[in-house]
Structure 1
């Protein structure tokens, strides 16, 4: 049996829980304390007796290293912005800034021809900067308070990470009433588009495997190589973009959470994410790196089956719901397929049985491990990446 199916990383439930940057003991919330020095050891779950407060408690958010370079400050702090202090602080997070006029010119006045898409946060346009660089410009809706928080979180994360399988950040723009993020342009759109878009063509098996490997590498980097670690919290097919060579890049960090060393569990007061991708522990407000692993497992299931994360039951009674998550639908079929070696009930019929059997076995095993109900039974993303290493 594949090693991933028996992986169970031991985690001890903490007597002290972290809630959005503060500690909670016996459901009593108290102020957070200063950060400890950065540890070189692998992160572990905090474990303290219920009646004991640790000497040092990391906060759920850590400040970005500011640039001291005068040219940087002049570029980013050209004009003060008369907006709430919580948003003003974002200026310090940008590694480079753009004026609104620059971005208007780059997008030809944010024209319909350059329009790429719209989400709850706002709009995305393609643009070409004065130096010829092709970019994607995300413009937040000015009347959306939650989008302001997402803007801060996304600039915070993007300005501190760099990996070939993460969308590259170029800078941001802030005016009195506008917030924009400038990122790498990805010409081949999203994995969601290629699997579920309204077009007849679909991506072949080799491309699906390539996407899986790239996304796994990007996520493993966020979880285990970044200092501090980053939990994405909204991994889904629509947030995995592909470039002209179909290299996958993880995008959209508006819901990301920064985990200081020594913290592996945060209990959040607000639940965010996308239906069908949410790990079971989200219902209790828990945020773990292995919640991202679950969501990644759902993406693997989409690549294997071609189905959407929420599927319609063909037959349902008054006692059952007409919809079911892809993970719940697939879980028994994954076990059965790995036992008998027959993948017909799972594999996307559009592949016409054109795939490598061993590679399919490996991806099915990875998906089965990632969508385990208990986070303790799911593998670290570095182990998932290792499973794909030979491909």
Structure 2
């Protein structure tokens, strides 16, 4: 009986639903007969066919047998974007948007895509700095890097993108000034064709240069809100006659309110929450006839409000604080709404000003808010405009006609036909809404109609739910889109819809303003009547190549990696399987080496990326010993241990297959080579996680296991910066009678090695405790254990001063990155525990279980959560910063061969993969 896709998904919780594999093969391309250019073809066995252009694959568009477009929006892609993408030299469009599990740095090799016009990497999890090489893409028209975790500055090289139309880097963590040209250095003032500047919700700072804007520019949208910009608003903004939206809110801008009288067609202006000088209401308030929304909260404006403002014909529904919100100013006198109030005007909000009277010369029966003004004194407190006004229940698409029955899990009723289906779900985020009444059925139903019409869905196949305003006053609405004539979307439909929403070819009704769509991954279903494998099991595999190497971009859907025999829980791999997964153990796939052998990056047929340790001749064990050891290790499953996927004992080869971890080692993070900075709270969590992993090996593994080589380069950080202990795969197993006293061949690293070993030639579980104590000292100092002949344990022991209750006399030894923090909670207790772990006598050291409990106690006493889920969810404790200016991460196994004086028979494990500097065909 075949196992369904959903059942297999449940059996493989750690497998990603969809992988983006970008890898180089140095195998020579064999001649093939197909419609795809040989340099764009993968010669291996592929998913549906072996020809992405002759029989076009979903998401892959070709022209003249060359791949020109990859449209993979909302496909649940997971992993990182390899530098191999730069070999697709004919690519015109790349859309990987709305894949939240796709992250890591944006590769610099994107700068090699000289013909690309559209680059959409929005709403993923990309981190690190924006590559300046993108500035070399002279044909680029559309650039969307918004809603990621990008840090660093806006590259000045972007000033060379002379054809750029759309420029969106909003919702990141970018810092520094907005660059302008100077001498030979380019700047954004040179982007004369750009229509959209979307830079909001970053950490941009400094003054906006007076030279940034000029009358030669064609900007229609400027969104610089929610940054840290200072100084006056440049006068050049007033010369942008094509401008329709201007949002400078929530900065620290100073000086006078800018002169916007030349913006004759502007619709939306938000200047609220800055530090403008106190001034009279500017004259342009009564002149901008095209205004539909005006926000000037906390603008330090005084005097009377021009009555002409209320007669602007386009002024639509407005409410504080997102439209005609003028609260917290100092407008005074009588509020005169004039004799020609716009019929579109629904809400006027002038709370918290100094208004003492009000006059109407024409009928106005809509909402007026004047709370916090002198007019609302005791005498007038009963007036409607002086009372809090409550909205009705927010709108939700009605399903009342569908009865009281329910749908299976993951399915919902389609409002179109009341049948259960798998909807495409996401959140619409509206950033410039022109109304505030969330109960207005007309507005929401107009949006529903617009969505199903423009997205080519069935009438009524749209559901809107749970609208609310977030902390940024953006409206968030859950969107569910339903398929037509069947219960699920196929991949082409999801990619089409995702592209329309990410490229914003869909336009909502005008009163909804600009928007963003963030999709949830779509779980694709098997075709009806099939074997459950056609749609998901086989998936899509796009084979694309450049030059003489083969670039494989694989879309491999969740599927079992079964098919090979298993040995009591550990998967057995044949030699040929692993040879194929590593391109013949090619040098391009080698990511580390040591005296035991080499480590290769491999990709299994199901798409899972693994790290493969291949023992060299002379370092292999006997067959029975190896198989017994693997059988026992396969039972080890813990969140804080690198998972053993399987093994190979075939053709006189011994190999271990591990899960692949993306973020490198703890040592790389402490040394600054990984591009990750760890604050004190995160270091405490790393210590707790790795301690839990070791405690599991010692106390709960059956039989217990001694690691024998605990060190920071054997602690790996995954994508959530959760610590995982690695390289215990060939650690000695402890029998019940040997648990406290094991004689073994040395497997350790100088600086971490138990001093009792030199006297007894024996390693025990307390030897791991000593090594872990050294790791704790590294977390404090950031330094390696032995430096210039000095040992960290000895130096710390000598320097400690019990009179210094805060830093224990160790200020000169503490990592400078930690000293920049205002406090190091639990520091003294952590140091004390570390020193107990590195006692010379093993009997004086605590067990790893005790160590775990004490670190948990430190976290709890300082108000930090010790639960696993808190590690990634606590904004206060997480605080992991990618260094925007960090050097390119080195090869994860940077020391090609482990130095003999450092380690005997081990080598470091790291999941992050770095491309070789050159790839040549065999």
2:765 matched to 1:289? yes
In 2: Cα distance, 1:159 partner to 1:184 partner: 12
In 2: Cα distance, 1:324 partner to 1:152 partner: 42
Which of these residues, 68, 75, 99, is aligned with residue 565 of structure 2? 75
Distance 1:156 1:346, change over 3 A: farther
Deviation at 1:197, TM superposition (A): 6.0
Deviation at 1:384, TM superposition (A): 1.0
Deviation at 1:366, TM superposition (A): 1.9
Structure 1 residue aligned with 2:843: 376
In 1: Cα distance, 2:779 partner to 2:624 partner: 32
SS in 2 for 1:138: strand
- Tell me if structure 1 keeps the 8 A contact 2:663–2:674: no
2:689 matched to 1:222? no
Structure 2 residue aligned with 1:308: 784
2:791 matched to 1:325? yes
- Tell me if structure 2 keeps the 8 A contact 1:93–1:156: yes
Structure 2 residue aligned with 1:205: 680
SS in 1 for 2:658: strand
SS in 1 for 2:617: coil
Q: Which moved more, 1:252-261 or 1:162-171?
A: 252-261
Structure 1 residue aligned with 2:596: 121
Deviation at 1:138, TM superposition (A): 1.0
In 1: Cα distance, 2:662 partner to 2:565 partner: 29
2:132 matched to 1:132? no
In 2: Cα distance, 1:281 partner to 1:158 partner: 27
Q: Which moved more, 1:154-163 or 1:97-106?
A: 154-163
Q: Which moved more, 1:136-145 or 1:120-129?
A: 136-145
- Tell me if structure 2 keeps the 8 A contact 1:142–1:177: no
Distance 1:197 1:339, change over 3 A: closer
Structure 2 residue aligned with 1:55: none
Structure 1 residue aligned with 2:749: 274
Distance 1:330 1:110, change over 3 A: same
Structure 2 residue aligned with 1:360: 827
TM-score normalised over the length of structure 1? 0.68
- Tell me if structure 2 keeps the 8 A contact 1:169–1:184: yes
- Unpaired runs of at least 5, structure 2: 1-561, 865-922
Deviation at 1:183, TM superposition (A): 1.0
Name the Cα RMSD after superposition.
2.9
Distance 1:74 1:166, change over 3 A: closer
In 2: Cα distance, 1:377 partner to 1:158 partner: 30
Which of these residues, 224, 240, 245, is aligned with residue 720 of structure 2? 245
TM-score normalised over the length of structure 2? 0.30
Cα offsets for 1:66-106 (capped at 9, x unmatched): xxxxxx99825xxxxxxxxxxxxxxx677211122222222
Distance 1:281 1:117, change over 3 A: same
In 1: Cα distance, 2:688 partner to 2:700 partner: 17
In 2: Cα distance, 1:371 partner to 1:362 partner: 15
- Tell me if structure 2 keeps the 8 A contact 1:154–1:256: no
Structure 2 residue aligned with 1:257: 732
Deviation at 1:143, TM superposition (A): 3.5
Structure 2 residue aligned with 1:316: none
In 2: Cα distance, 1:264 partner to 1:351 partner: 38
- Tell me if structure 1 keeps the 8 A contact 2:602–2:611: yes
- Tell me if structure 1 keeps the 8 A contact 2:569–2:635: no
2:664 matched to 1:189? yes
- Tell me if structure 1 keeps the 8 A contact 2:644–2:729: no
2:878 matched to 1:388? no
Matches within 5 A, 1:79-158: 95-145=570-620, 155=630, 157-158=632-633
In 1: Cα distance, 2:707 partner to 2:630 partner: 13
SS in 1 for 2:610: strand
Point out which structure has higher relative CO (alpha carbons under 8 A, 6+ apart): 1
